[in-house]
Amino acid sequence: MAIEGPIKELSLMDLFQLLAMSRKSGVLTLDSAHDVGQVFFSNGNIIRATLQQSYERLGQIMLKSGKVTIPQVERILKDQSDSKERKRFGVLAAESGFVTKPAVKEALKTQVEEVVFAIMGWQDGYFRFEEMDLSADSDTDLLLVTENVMMEVSRRLDEWSKIHSKLPDLDLVLSLSPGSELASGRLDLKPEEWLIMATIDGKRTARQVIETVGGREFETAKVIYGLCVTGLVRASGKKTDLKLDLQEPEQDPIKQGIAELNSGKIEEAIDSFTKLVQKDPEQAHAHLYLGEAYYLAESYDEAVMEYKLASKGEENNPEINYCLGFTYARLGRLELAVERWEKFLRFAGGDKRAEKVRELVTLAVRWAEGLEGKARIQAGTVESKTESARPEGVPAELSSEVKSWLEKMKKSREER
């Protein structure tokens, strides 16, 4: 059974604690107005976390921490694009010898903490937790205790509240305070403080300074806060960029992405549609086609997320339900696939695909009934051998979730 509801009605910290204490396995999807996040749990522990838009890739994290160089990142990305196995960046980085597996694991830990920290700041939106069997990636073996992640996030939240007292907005322009002793060389500053002071020119915002320095946003903001507290740096009004109203005509990005899909350029299509949804997160068609591109790339978890974004919370959209049905089937979640196909049939009207979908639903139900029948036969065999009731040690062929779904399907067919 899914756990879902508005973010504002339940503390996200409490939600994470609930999933940890109940040892849940599955995917928590959080959909806010500005981004979509997913956190993957295994027995209550966090094994992965992603954001749709403001998501820092593993290569960027390792680059900022000095674990890899730009040429090495480019080499790994090329190997990744050339590989038919679609290995993840961290796996290829370790296999190439550029970094050790512990270093990759530490970067992944940082990535998860950054994503969860970002999510904890959301005040609106919708969350949904779907149970499924998940385990840690065998290549990285990343398994983070949720309580430890929550402690780190809480620490950062406390420190951010202090930072905001002097730096309430990263888009404020930083400048050196009048009378600064920077030129006299009498300042006793750490290397990272000197680097930031040298970057401040009275024109760059705090965000731009952080990007120029290339460090982690949280850690660099702490250093800037310290410089503000000592009076060496001050933050003033936001910088406004002048933009010309006249722009060169651009090719329709939707048509461009569709053309890439039709010509088999899946990775290019994913890149095109990703840029489009980053620019306009509300564009449903872009999310729909991005979902199609991920489906063709066999990235089914990402496809599910994009299809849901395309639906904008509308559960009765026939096209979305049609696509989600096939995607869930690919993920092995047949009960969810049939649920979506049933919704498609309910609202599809005279869609020519309806007959084929009905056949798939029928086959799925027969498949589940067949598994149930096998379980009964197995139980009967055990009973005949022992001339007693079936021992508790005999495993059931169907999970409780699938059994519940099967009963619902039988009841639904009886009512027709």
Q: Which tens digit of pLDDT belongs to each residue from 370-386?
A: 666 655 555 555 444 44
For residues 1 and 129, the answer to whether their CB atoms sit within 8 Å is no
At the topology level, CATH places domain 167-238 in: Arc Repressor Mutant, subunit A (1.10.10)
CB neighbour burial string for 52-90, b if at least 16 within 10 angstroms, e if fewer: beebbebbebbbbeebbeeebbebbeeebeeeeeeeebb
CA–CA dist 392, 74 (Å, integer): 55
146-166 and 101-119 helices, crossing angle to 10°: 60
Token pair belonging to 211: 């990007």
Tell me which residues of the chain have a pLDDT lower than 50. 183-184, 240-249, 382-398, 416
The count of other CB atoms within 10 Å of the CB of residue 215 is: 19
With CA atoms as reference, report the closest residue to 81 among 267, 249, 260, 270.
Answer: 267
On whether the CB atoms of residues 277 and 53 are closer than 8 A, the answer is: yes
Name the residue with tokens 């994913």: 270
Which DSSP string corresponds to 69-131?
-HHHHHHHHHHHHH-TT---HHHHHHHTTSS-HHHHHHHHHHHHHHHHHHHTT--SSEEEEEE
Q: Are 117 and 135 in contact (CB under 8 A)?
A: no
Whole-number pLDDT of residue 261: 80
pLDDT value for 28:
92
Q: Tell me: the pLDDT tens digits for 173-224? A: 888 877 555 544 556 777 778 788 888 888 888 888 887 876 677 788 888 8
Give the residue carrying structure tokens 């199609």. 292
Q: Which 8-state DSSP code applies to residue 396?
A: P
Domain with CATH 1.10.10.10 in the chain: 167-238
> Which of the 8 DSSP states describes residue 189?
-
Q: Which residues pair with 31 in a beta bridge?
A: 36, 126
- Rg (C-alpha) for the chain, rounded Å, is 26
Q: Which helix (H) or strand (E) holds 235?
A: strand 233-238
Which of 50, 38, 137 has the alpha carbon at shortest distance from 91?
137
Could you report the per-residue pLDDT of 8-44, keeping only the tens digit for each? 887 888 889 999 999 999 999 988 877 888 999 999 9
* Bridge-based pairing state of the strands 26-31 and 36-42: antiparallel
CB contact set of 78 (below 8 Å; sequence gap of 6+): none
Distance CA 341, CA 363 (A): 12
Q: How far apart are CA 279 and CA 276, in angstroms?
A: 5
